[in-house]
Amino acid sequence: MPASEILSLAVEVLSWVGLGLGVPLAVAALIARLVDAGREEVEVVVVHPQHGEPILRWFAGDELHERAVEPGELDEVADHEDAIGYASGDDLRFHRRGPATRVLTTVAIVLLAVGTASLVASVVLMFTA
């Protein structure tokens, strides 16, 4: 089997896998972004008590909300008096999109890029062979 046929087969498989998995994941990422879009940007005040962990306070929906700083957030608010957060009622986070949405979007983009590049390479190989 010549090398051009092996390359053509590999590129064909990559295009099918990349586009076949990338399109459904892109749809899932779009749905996750739509579900995740109900957050408003809020200013978060960081209260540093003399004893204990910092406390976060913010206004959302005309109500004052408060919660303790979670362990993963200590780096983001440790030395600050205020920060920008994204709230949906009592739920607060410091990134606009959730981790699942970011992972879905990234994987979908990578797979679509590989699938598209492989499709272009497959067409080029078809006309050069």
Q: Is the pLDDT of residue 129 over 70?
A: no
CA distance to 50, 63, 73, 84, 94, per residue, from 69 (Å): 15, 19, 6, 14, 11
Asked whether residue 88 falls in the same domain as residue 44, the answer is yes
Digit-coded pLDDT (tens) for 68-116: 888 777 777 767 788 888 888 778 888 888 888 999 999 999 999 999 9
Q: Give the chain's mean pLDDT.
A: 87
Domain count of the fold of the chain? 2
Asked whether residue 51 falls in the same domain as residue 77, the answer is yes
* Residue 36 φ/ψ, nearest 5 degrees: -80, -5
For 22-45, b/e burial (b = at least 16 CB within 10 A) is beebbebbeebbeebeebeebebb
State the helix-helix crossing angle for 3-35 and 99-128, rounded to 10 degrees: 150
Q: What confidence category does residue 14 fall into, taking pLDDT thresholds of 50, 70 and 90?
A: very high
Asked whether residue 92 falls in the same domain as residue 50, the answer is yes
Domain that holds residue 55: 38-96
- pTM of the full structure: 0.74
Q: What confidence category does residue 67 fall into, taking pLDDT thresholds of 50, 70 and 90?
A: confident
Q: What confidence category does residue 47 fall into, taking pLDDT thresholds of 50, 70 and 90?
A: confident
Q: Tell me which residue of 108, 109, 103, 86 sits closest to 37, measured CA to CA.
A: 86
Asked whether residue 42 falls in the same domain as residue 87, the answer is yes
Asked whether residue 49 falls in the same domain as residue 84, the answer is yes
Q: Is the pLDDT of residue 40 over 80?
A: yes
Asked whether residue 82 falls in the same domain as residue 44, the answer is yes
Asked whether residue 79 falls in the same domain as residue 91, the answer is yes
